[in-house]
């Protein structure tokens, strides 16, 4: 910045309006565009607040005009001048500063710039890799700035809301103990304790439970967490979550709190009113109706069970599955008979098979009736009843899976989502929340022949289910709840186990012996012996929340410096190699 006091910024590039006419001001920022009109030179100056047109007139100041002739995009400049009305017919209604311009009296080039690798524009068509390599350029674009600023405002609103509810913001350690139960930990070698490692936290779970034992009955933290797992559009190796824990509460208290948070966010940040309470679905109902525990409620196309009808038909595939304890379920793609070609229908078979289904059956409905290779195995009355059950009309396409209930659900869920995109029936700008509750406590790991916690091993079983932990773990329900927005899980939590004896029984059900439990979680088990109150909590994935609220496709567009899908930072070339001396100090060899 210049040391010249008269060139100290007085206004931002998005601040000036017609009420400022006649003011002498100083602007600082980047050259967005420069236009030479054969004497007059117009420069659009840009900062994160907006854009202002400044004018260089050789008759007003030939020296400033001479400097303006050398300006190029992304030069950093300071100008002083007078706010003036734009000439008649040149007002830009699309620009907040569009009624004014600044007639420049002096200009200073604070720094020159190389030609950027891509244009700093809203609709730049450039590869994600190039954007990430030159992230400092990409972050100058308005869509990126909008995402970052929206994220800041969201965090601020959430913090203020929780502060008003009596919560305390407490930091928990970044260097902690490795307790791998789900995703892989990022490990950090200890120089002062050779051969020993810290882990970066996947969650502050254990520490926030200890805080409840310590009497801090309302804790929250906007916290960075780390998981060494394969990446996708909504997943990064480091991510940010709103972490919450409360004492002396039940599920309803936490659900009410989070609904209050989102009501505040939508009202003050989105300018919308949302209805509460949100719909609650049991895990079983969600899987039956939508084939997923993350249902998208913005469109219908619910799954319909036709197992009873399948038993009555002559179609052996349906009949044998239905009579052997399996199920036959389907969805109706409204208008799908014309939207799907025969080739595209055939391609749905391998699509279904990737989720474990043996195949897929279909029936088209047109004005003349039902068309399908399997239609001949149904009587006219059976086809009519099937169409009524499936709410299928002329122009619709019915798709069926005959298999075990779990496979049918796991296949029809993605099939429903795929069909909704194909039919273009997902409303834009609409937000549908729901809670999924009453989860199973455990899921079976068939490869390792053992039970695993569906959420995490510190989730409390439903009251009265404790006695089934060892004898019949499949029937144990958890006091867990997930919040889902537009088909994406944005948070999950549970009422925790606050009694040591119940926690030990859960560990036994998971095949974790006493010695292993002591080694991994000894400090938590000890803490539970010293007056642990009933408590529960939740964590919201804030990167996902921001992405969904802004209608974006990837969380990379709301994180300042994200990684690629291979967990690589193209801007800094991290992760990178380290020299032999560093490895030696840590007692490591590659």
Given this model, what pLDDT does residue 2 score?
Answer: 42
Cross-strand partners of 495: 536
Helix, strand, or coil (residue 329)? strand
The CA-to-CA distance between both ends of the chain, in Å, stands at 46
* Ranges of the chain whose pLDDT falls below 50: 1-3
Q: How far is CA 512 from CA 207, 214, 463, 546, in A?
A: 21, 26, 22, 38
Given this model, what pLDDT does residue 60 score?
Answer: 84
Q: Looking at the structure, do residues 204 and 149 belong to the same domain, yes or no?
A: yes
pLDDT tens per residue, range 330-382: 999 999 999 999 999 999 999 999 999 999 999 999 998 999 999 999 999 99
Whether the Cβ atoms of residue 370 and residue 342 lie closer than 8 Å to each other: no
The per-residue DSSP string of 126-153 comes to --HHHHHHTHHHHTTSHHHHHHHHHHHH
Helix, strand, or coil (residue 109)? strand
Residue 277 lies in a domain: no
Given this model, what pLDDT does residue 182 score?
Answer: 64
Task: Give the Cα separation of 10 and 80 in Å (integer).
Answer: 9
Q: What tokens appear for 259 in the block? A: 């609904």
User: Which domain-ending residue is among 377, 402, 426?
Assistant: 426
Q: Looking at the structure, do residues 98 and 130 belong to the same domain, yes or no?
A: no
User: Which residue range is the domain that position 177 belongs to?
Assistant: 123-271+539-590
Q: What tokens appear for 255 in the block? A: 């659900």
Given this model, what pLDDT does residue 1 score?
Answer: 37
Look at strands 433-437 and 480-485 and give their pairing.
antiparallel
Residue 489 lies in a domain: no
Helix, strand, or coil (residue 444)? strand
Q: What tokens appear for 244 in the block? A: 């919450």
Given this model, what pLDDT does residue 448 score?
Answer: 78
Residue 291 lies in a domain: no
CATH number, domain containing residue 13: 2.40.50.140
Q: Looking at the structure, do residues 103 and 144 belong to the same domain, yes or no?
A: no
Given this model, what pLDDT does residue 560 score?
Answer: 97
Q: Looking at the structure, do residues 233 and 266 belong to the same domain, yes or no?
A: yes
pTM for the model stands at 0.92
Q: What tokens appear for 232 in the block? A: 């996708």
Helix, strand, or coil (residue 486)? coil
Whether the Cβ atoms of residue 219 and residue 244 lie closer than 8 Å to each other: yes
Task: Give the Cα separation of 16 and 103 in Å (integer).
Answer: 13
Task: Give the Cα separation of 45 and 139 in Å (integer).
Answer: 16
Helix, strand, or coil (residue 574)? strand
* 178 phi/psi in degrees, rounded to 5: -75, 125
Whether the Cβ atoms of residue 286 and residue 292 lie closer than 8 Å to each other: yes
Range list of H helices, 225-341 = 251-265, 283-290, 307-312, 316-323, 336-339
Q: Looking at the structure, do residues 78 and 162 belong to the same domain, yes or no?
A: no
Q: Among 229, 169, 236, 158, which Cα is nearest to 204's?
A: 169
Residue 376 lies in a domain: yes
Q: How far is CA 179 from CA 107, 182, 198, 204, 221, in A?
A: 59, 9, 10, 12, 21
CATH number, domain containing residue 375: 3.30.1360.30
Residue 233 burial by Cβ neighbours in a 10 Å radius (0-12, 13-18, 19+): middle
Residue 324 lies in a domain: yes
100-109: burial string, b at 16+ Cβ within 10 Å, e else: bbbebbbbbb
Q: Looking at the structure, do residues 193 and 245 belong to the same domain, yes or no?
A: yes
Residue 173 lies in a domain: yes
Q: Looking at the structure, do residues 106 and 168 belong to the same domain, yes or no?
A: no
Q: Looking at the structure, do residues 20 and 60 belong to the same domain, yes or no?
A: yes
Task: Give the Cα separation of 64 and 61 in Å (integer).
Answer: 6
Q: What tokens appear for 560 in the block? A: 């300042």
User: Which domain-ending residue is among 371, 405, 426?
Assistant: 426
Q: Looking at the structure, do residues 147 and 247 belong to the same domain, yes or no?
A: yes
Task: Please report the sign of the dihedral spanned by the C-alpha atoms of residue 82, residue 86, residue 87, residue 88.
Answer: negative
Residue 467 lies in a domain: no
Residue 402 lies in a domain: yes
Element (H or E) spanning 518, and its range?
Answer: helix 514-527
pLDDT tens per residue, range 232-259: 766 899 999 999 999 999 999 999 999 9
Range list of H helices, 112-250 = 128-133, 135-138, 142-164, 205-213
Q: What tokens appear for 439 in the block? A: 């989860």
Write the CB contacts of 480 (distance below 8 Å, at least 6 apart in sequence).
437, 439, 454, 455, 459, 492, 493, 494
Q: Looking at the structure, do residues 323 and 390 belong to the same domain, yes or no?
A: yes
Element (H or E) spanning 343, and its range?
Answer: helix 342-353
Q: Looking at the structure, do residues 81 and 218 belong to the same domain, yes or no?
A: no
How many structural domains comprise the chain?
Answer: 3
Q: Looking at the structure, do residues 97 and 142 belong to the same domain, yes or no?
A: no
Task: Give the Cα separation of 279 and 275 in Å (integer).
Answer: 10
User: Which domain-ending residue is among 49, 76, 111?
Assistant: 111
Q: How far is CA 490 from CA 170, 243, 404, 435, 493, in A?
A: 22, 12, 29, 10, 11
Q: What tokens appear for 84 in the block? A: 């003036």
């Amino acid at each position: 910045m210049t040391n010249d006091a008269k060139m100290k910024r007085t206004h931002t590039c998005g601040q000036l309006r017609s009420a400022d006419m006649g003011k002498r001001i100083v602007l600082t920022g980047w050259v967005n565009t420069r236009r030479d009109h054969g004497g007059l030179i117009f420069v659009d100056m840009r900062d994160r607040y907006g854009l202002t047109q400044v004018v260089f007139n050789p008759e007003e100041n030939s020296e400033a005009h001479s400097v303006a002739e050398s300006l190029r995009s992304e030069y950093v400049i300071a100008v002083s001048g007078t706010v003036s009305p734009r000439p008649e017919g040149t007002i830009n209604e699309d620009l907040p500063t569009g009624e004014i311009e600044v007639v420049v009296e002096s200009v200073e080039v604070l720094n020159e710039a190389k030609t950027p690798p891509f244009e700093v524009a809203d609709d730049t068509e450039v590869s994600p890799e190039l954007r990430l390599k030159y992230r400092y350029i990409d972050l100058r674009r308005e869509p990126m700035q909008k995402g970052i600023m929206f994220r800041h405002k969201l965090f601020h609103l959430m913090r203020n809301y929780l502060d008003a509810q009596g919560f305390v913001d407490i930091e928990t350690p970044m260097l902690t103990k490795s307790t791998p139960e789900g995703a892989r930990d990022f490990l950090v070698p200890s120089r002062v304790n050779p051969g020993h490692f810290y882990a970066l936290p996947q969650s502050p779970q254990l520490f926030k439970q200890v805080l409840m034992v310590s009497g801090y009955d309302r804790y929250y933290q906007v916290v960075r967490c780390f998981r060494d797992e394969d990446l996708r559009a909504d997943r990064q190796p480091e991510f940010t979550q709103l972490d919450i824990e409360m004492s002396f509460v039940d599920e309803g208290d936490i659900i009410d709190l989070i609904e209050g948070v989102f009501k505040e966010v939508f009202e003050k940040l989105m300018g919308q009113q949302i209805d509460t309470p949100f719909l609650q679905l049991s895990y079983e109902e969600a899987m039956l109706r939508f084939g997923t525990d993350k249902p998208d409620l913005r469109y219908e196309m619910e799954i319909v069970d036709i197992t009873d009808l399948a038993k009555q038909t002559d179609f052996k595939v349906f009949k044998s599955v239905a009579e052997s304890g399996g199920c036959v379920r389907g969805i109706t793609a409204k208008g799908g008979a014309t939207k799907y070609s025969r080739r595209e229908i055939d391609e749905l078979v391998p699509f279904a098979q990737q989720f474990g289904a043996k195949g897929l059956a279909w029936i088209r409905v047109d004005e003349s009736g039902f068309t399908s290779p399997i239609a001949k195995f149904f009587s006219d009355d059976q086809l009519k009843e099937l169409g009524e059950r499936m709410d299928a009309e002329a122009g619709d396409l019915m798709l069926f899976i005959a298999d075990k209930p779990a496979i049918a659900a796991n296949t029809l869920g993605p099939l429903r989502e795929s069909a909704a995109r194909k039919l273009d029936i997902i409303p834009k700008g609409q937000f549908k929340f729901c809670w999924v509750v009453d989860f199973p406590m455990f899921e079976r790991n068939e490869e390792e022949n053992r039970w695993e916690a569906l959420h995490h091993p510190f989730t409390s079983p439903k009251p009265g289910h404790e006695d089934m932990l060892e004898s019949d773990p499949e029937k144990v329900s958890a006091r867990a709840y997930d919040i889902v927005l537009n088909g994406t899980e944005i948070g999950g939590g549970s009422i925790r186990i606050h009694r040591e004896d119940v926690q030990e029984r859960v560990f036994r059900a998971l095949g974790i012996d006493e010695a292993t439990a002591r080694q991994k979680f000894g400090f938590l088990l000890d803490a539970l012996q010293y007056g642990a109150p009933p408590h529960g909590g939740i964590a919201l994935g804030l990167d996902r929340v921001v992405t969904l609220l802004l209608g974006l496709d990837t969380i990379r567009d709301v994180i300042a410096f994200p990684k690629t899908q291979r967990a690589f930072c193209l801007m800094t070339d991290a992760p990178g190699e380290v020299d032999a001396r560093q490895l030696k100090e840590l007692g490591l060899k590659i």
